[in-house]
Amino acid sequence: MSIEEARVYHPDSVIAIRMNKMKLTEFPEEVLNYPNLRALDLTKNRLTKIPQNLNLLQKMEILTLSKNRLQIFPIVICSMPNLKSISVSNNIITNMPTCIKYLTQLEHLDIFNTQMDSFPSELGLLKNLKTFDARGILFGREFQQTWEERLPNTKIKFDAPCNCIE
Same domain, 124 and 72: no
Q: Is 89 domain-assigned?
A: no
Same domain, 58 and 120: no
Q: Is 156 domain-assigned?
A: yes
Total Cβ atoms within 10 A of residue 155? 12
Q: Is 97 domain-assigned?
A: no
Q: Is 27 domain-assigned?
A: yes
Same domain, 70 and 140: no
Same domain, 73 and 12: yes
pLDDT at site 164: 74
Total Cβ atoms within 10 A of residue 161? 15
What's this model's pTM, rounded to 2 decimal places?
A: 0.92
Q: What angle do CA 106, 109, 110 make, to 5 degrees?
A: 165
For 98-116, the pLDDT digits (tens) are 999 999 999 999 999 999 9
> Is a pLDDT exceeding 90 seen at residue 8?
no
> Is a pLDDT exceeding 80 seen at residue 165?
no
Identify the CATH number of the domain in which residue 5 sits: 3.80.10.10
Task: Say how far apart CA 56 and CA 8 lie, in whole Å.
Answer: 21
- For 115, how many CA atoms within 13 A lie in the half-sphere containing its CB? 8
- Number of domains the chain is built from: 2
> Is a pLDDT exceeding 90 seen at residue 1?
no
Task: Say how far apart CA 66 and CA 81 lie, in whole Å.
Answer: 20
> Is a pLDDT exceeding 70 seen at residue 2?
no
Sign of the C-alpha dihedral computed for residues 156, 161, 162 and 166 taken in this order? positive
pLDDT at site 12: 83
CA gyration radius, the chain: 16
Same domain, 4 and 62: yes
For 39-72, the pLDDT digits (tens) are 999 999 999 999 999 999 999 999 999 999 999 9
- Give the domain extent around 29: 1-77
For 129-163, the pLDDT digits (tens) are 999 999 999 899 999 999 999 999 999 999 999 87
Query: Could you tell me if residue 124 is left (phi over 0), alpha (psi between -120 and 50 degrees) or otherwise beta?
Result: alpha
Q: Are strands 108-110 and 39-41 parallel, antiparallel or unpaired?
A: unpaired
